[in-house]
Amino acid sequence: MPFLYDLLLKAIRPIVNKWPLPRIEEGGIYVHAASLGEVNAISPFIHLIIQRHPDMPIFLSTFTETGYRRAHDLFDGDIAIGRFPYDIKDKIDEFFRRGNFRALLIVETELWPNLILTAKKYGVPIFLVNARLSPRTLRRYRVLKSKFSSLLSLFSLILAQSETDRRRYLYLGAPPERVRVTGSLKFDLMNEEVEPPENFPSGNRRLVVFGSVRPKEEELILKAAVSLLRKNPEAHFVIAPRHIDRVQAIRKFLDSRGIPYSLRTSGEIRGRIMILDTLGELRNFYGVADVAFVGGTLAPYGGHNLVEPAILGVPVIFGPHYFNTPDAARGLLKSGGALLVHNGEELEETILTLLREENLRQKIGERARKYVLSRRGVSEKIYREILPYITSK
């Protein structure tokens, strides 16, 4: 296995050699966030450090091009930003020689061996923050459990998103006294205000948004929407596939049944169903929704962002497959801010009830919003945990 890993790094080196060396100031914090999602997640914490320690350098590395661009959008001029060199040992070593870092913060699940071992070599405290382990990742890591156990033993602290994540890290061999639950940074990301979507008329209607819909649940959702068109003349629907390449399949389903619809990109409103074939607008549509269904939950995908509609005071519906976000799902259900459905029939009936009963709709939406607000402050918790390490050097 080490041989194959070294072979992979050797193959990727020509690409990495073309990347410019990042600007790194000495004596700061090194944050590694793999991609767009992790960069967004860690942004409240980085802004907190900038605010409270304006003279402390921060270096952020990211793995993907989208993460790199997003980092520049969020922090350009405030911190140093560079591409992560695929765990190539001498490149990583150069980062640490130049940086003389106070701490290394790795976001979520990025257990790169050379990154971790190099930090240890230079005596830099290592933290896994906003740490999570999906069932799929856990199964993959379990194959090399002894290797990951030795890596996890090198962390000063592992700050998990949830109790579920904490237990998974313990199963992999993390030292129990170093694994703590601080919550998910996604709660700190959520703003209660959002701009309404452009060129989308309001009108006298009830809007249901199906967000992040996955292929194996498309037919259930579309059948429910078509049935609800007949049962509630005020109902309008926005269907947002998780991946844009599914737009054609959704169109084919509706065309085969003669159901009029519009595409967001067309700029026209036709019928009472819109397919959201753009990126980055789902939250704007949640903001004008009366009811939201969060996809990836009626089929075993694990679910997507339940917090996004909840913070906007929209009643949330999801299916039983929420293993990627178990704590948020259970918390919303326990607080009365969400409703669980198990199939297309239950989905249809639940939406119909919410559309008919305004008081119930408002009550569930307000409970959802209050639940999210009660979970904020994760950046502060992480800051307090690492403060002794970043101020002692």
Residues 275-302 pLDDT 10s: 999 988 999 999 999 999 999 999 999 9
Residue ranges of domains in the chain: 7-184+377-390, 206-374
Q: What was the pLDDT predicted at 247?
A: 97
Distance CA 363, CA 185 (A): 26
Distance CA 384, CA 250 (A): 48
**Burial of 273 per CB tally in 10 Å (0-12, 13-18, 19+):** buried
Residues 6+ apart with CB under 8 A from 251: 261, 275
What pLDDT band is residue 270 in, cutting at 50, 70 and 90?
confident
Average pLDDT over residues 197-212: 89
CATH fold group of domain 206-374: Rossmann fold (3.40.50)
Summarize pLDDT for 237-268 with one digit per residue, the tens.
999 999 999 999 999 999 999 999 999 999 88
State both tokens at 250.
């959704």
Distance CA 336, CA 315 (A): 9
Summarize pLDDT for 53-94 with one digit per residue, the tens.
999 999 999 988 889 999 999 998 899 999 988 888 888 999
State both tokens at 279.
């990126």
Average pLDDT over residues 347-373: 97
**Burial of 94 per CB tally in 10 Å (0-12, 13-18, 19+):** middle
Residues 6+ apart with CB under 8 A from 11: none
Q: 133 by DSSP, 3-state: which? A: coil
**Burial of 307 per CB tally in 10 Å (0-12, 13-18, 19+):** buried
Average pLDDT over residues 120-130: 97
Question: Do the beta carbons of residue 306 and residue 190 sit within 8 Å?
Answer: no
Q: For the sheet with 157-160, list strands across it.
A: 80-83, 58-62, 29-32, 103-107, 126-131, 157-160, 179-181
Average pLDDT over residues 209-221: 98
State both tokens at 214.
């996955």
Candidate CATH numbers 3.30.413.10, 1.20.1050.10, 3.50.50.60, 3.40.50.11720; the one for domain 7-184+377-390: 3.40.50.11720
Distance CA 391, CA 103 (A): 10
When the pLDDT of each residue in the chain is averaged and rounded to a whole number, the result is 92
Distance CA 217, CA 256 (A): 18
Question: Do the beta carbons of residue 48 and residue 379 sit within 8 Å?
Answer: yes
Residues taking part in catalysis: 38
More confident residue, 286 or 391: 286
Distance CA 50, CA 29 (A): 11
pLDDT at residue 1 is higher than 60: no
To 10 degrees, what angle do helices 163-171 and 326-335 make?
150
Using CA atoms of 285, 291, 297, 303 in order, give the dihedral in degrees to the nearest 10. Answer: 40
